[in-house]
A and B are shown apart, each in its own frame.
Chain A
Amino acid sequence: METETVLRVPAGTSLVEWYFEQGWTDGLPVVPPTRSQVDAAVEALGGEPDFVECKVPPRYGSLTREVLAINVVMAGCKPEYAPVVRAAMLALSVKAFNLNGVQATTHMAAPLLVVNGPIAREIGMNGGCNAFGSGNRANATIGRAVRLILLNVGGAWPGDLDKSTLGHPGKYTYCVSENEAASPWAPYHVEKGFSPEDSAVFVLAAEPPHSVTNHVANDPEGILDSIASAMTTIANNNAVSSGHCAVVIGPEHARTIAAKGWTRHDVRNYLAMHAYNLFSEISFSGRYGKIYNRNLPKWYKREPDARIPIVPSPDHIHLFVIGGEAGRFSAFIPGWGHMSSPVLRSIETAAQPKAPVCVDGTCYL
Chain B
Amino acid sequence: MTVIFSALIVASLLVALVSRRGHAHQRAEDFFVASGQFGAILYFFLAVGETYSIASFLGFPGGVYAHGTGFVSWFLGYILLSFPVGYFLYPWIWRAGRLHGAVTLPDLFARHYRSRSLELVVTVASIGFLVPLGVMQFAGLNVVLGDLGWPVPRVVLTGLGGALAFSYIAISGIRAPAFVAVMKDALVLAAILLTGIACLSAEPASSGRAAPIALHALPGGDVFAMTTIILQCIGFCVVPQTCAFVFTARSVGAVRRAQVGMPLYMVMFPFLLVVALYALRTGVRPAVPDDVLLAVARALLPGWATGLVMAGAALSALVILTGVCLALGPLVTRNLVPGLDSDQQQRWAKVVTALYLLLSIAGAAHSRALMAALNNLFYFGMTQAFPGLLAMIVARHVRPGAIIAGLLAGDALAIGLHAFGVPMGGCNPGLVGLVANLAIVFGTGWWWPGAAVRPVAAFRR
Bind each other: no
